[in-house]
């Protein structure tokens, strides 16, 4: 992994998160993410496939991508875990709000209206060094 790869990832709007299936195949999903202190934070609904797969396997891959998931960078090995502690979730939400500003505020507001905000799962991703 090069500093160019991480710089490209840090400044993009989307990250492709590829989570491991039991079959050994990866499933890639474009997601919003926010870098903070060497880690990347992501949010998701609890019933999604990526959350189910992360409960089975922490290993994953990430790459810079566009909104449709087309890769704009190289895959990098990483590990991911869902966050349980309130302080960790607050860190993730603050990082996402800082990066996406009004877009995240609107997303939060809409999620609150639909009752999904309180059920939201936050993920911390750490690149393999």
What CATH number did the domain enclosing 110 receive? 2.30.110.10
Compute the average pLDDT of residues 50-77: 95
Q: Is 51 exposed, middle or buried (0-12, 13-18, 19+ CB in 10 A)?
A: middle
Cβ distance 19 to 26 under 8 Å? yes
Q: Say which DSSP state 71 is in.
A: B
Please report the pLDDT score of residue 95 as a whole number: 96
Helix (H, G, I), strand (E, B) or coil at 6: helix
- Lowest model confidence (mean pLDDT) among 5-9, 35-39, 77-81, 118-122: 5-9
Number of folded domains in the chain? 1
* pLDDT over 70 (residue 11): yes
Tokens encoding 63: 């790459």
Q: Which domain holds residue 91?
A: 3-127
């Amino acid at each position: 992994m090069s500093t160019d790869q991480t710089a490209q990832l840090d400044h993009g709007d989307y990250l492709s998160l590829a989570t491991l299936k039991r079959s050994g195949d990866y499933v890639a999903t474009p997601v919003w993410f926010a870098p903070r202190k060497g880690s990347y934070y992501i949010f998701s609904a609890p019933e999604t496939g990526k959350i189910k797969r992360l409960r089975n396997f922490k290993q994953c891959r990430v790459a810079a991508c566009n909104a449709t998931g087309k890769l704009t960078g190289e895959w990098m090995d990483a590990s991911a875990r869902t966050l349980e502690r309130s302080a960790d979730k607050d860190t993730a939400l603050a990082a996402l709000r800082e990066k996406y500003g009004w877009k995240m505020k609107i997303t939060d507001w809409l999620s609150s209206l639909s009752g999904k905000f309180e059920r939201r799962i936050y993920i911390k991703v750490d690149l393999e060094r």
